[in-house]
Amino acid sequence: MSSQATHRWLWPAVIAHRCGGLLAPENSIEGLVRAHGVGCRGAEFDAMLAACGTPVLMHDVTLERTTVGRGKVADTPWAVLSQVALRTRGGEVSPECIPSLAMALDACLALGVSPNIEIKPSEGADRATGHAVAELAARQWPKSAPVPPLLSSFSIPALEAAALAAPDLPRALLLEIVDADSLAVAQRLGCIALVVEQSQLSALLISRAHAAGLGVAIYTENDAERGQHSLVLGLDGLITDRPALFLG
């Protein structure tokens, strides 16, 4: 079987990490705008549930690192989170507040940016988060759009719930460590790709994944020479804090 014959990757090769990488506050609408401004047409961002069940863009379980707020995202309703200002990468207060997933998808549609939504559950909320994120993305993203959102997660229960809620949306298995069972697990889950930590990438992994019908993306690649070499090897997607390094 050809190593390139069966896999299907629809998203841009260069994907901005947490909306805009280092260009803006992480998981922000400004990040999407700035990534688009440097020519990036793909963006990865994290979706977690607020206390009321609204999916919001947030990586951490708690608010302190990236916002002026305090406490857990899962304990705070969207009505409050929507008024919480984000911090810049330097720690200053940004004029932008925490966006909802719905707001981020609207921005992606307006900008022509293809989203990779990482389902990021708080403790004990894997299935609820997977279901809510997938259901919202399927409802909001036009079925006529040529490229659908890609849902990814480290959480197997979250991916299983996403598959039940929106079986037509593609999914990817996130992995920090690749082992002998990784391809089989991704296939069992009905995933179309693996997204692996960049140190786990090899030409052999790309070849085996493609032969199994799976795309391969990496996170978080900020080394221009290494990243370009990976793309030459056949890497499908490269998630980066520095998208401008790989564009133009």
Q: Specify the residue for token string 């977690």.
A: 48
**Catalytic site residue 131?**
no
* Catalytic-labelled residue, pool 17, 36, 131, 210: 17
Q: Catalytic annotation on 59? A: yes
Q: Which of 7, 36, 59, 131 is catalytic?
A: 59
List, by residue number, the catalytic residues. 17, 59
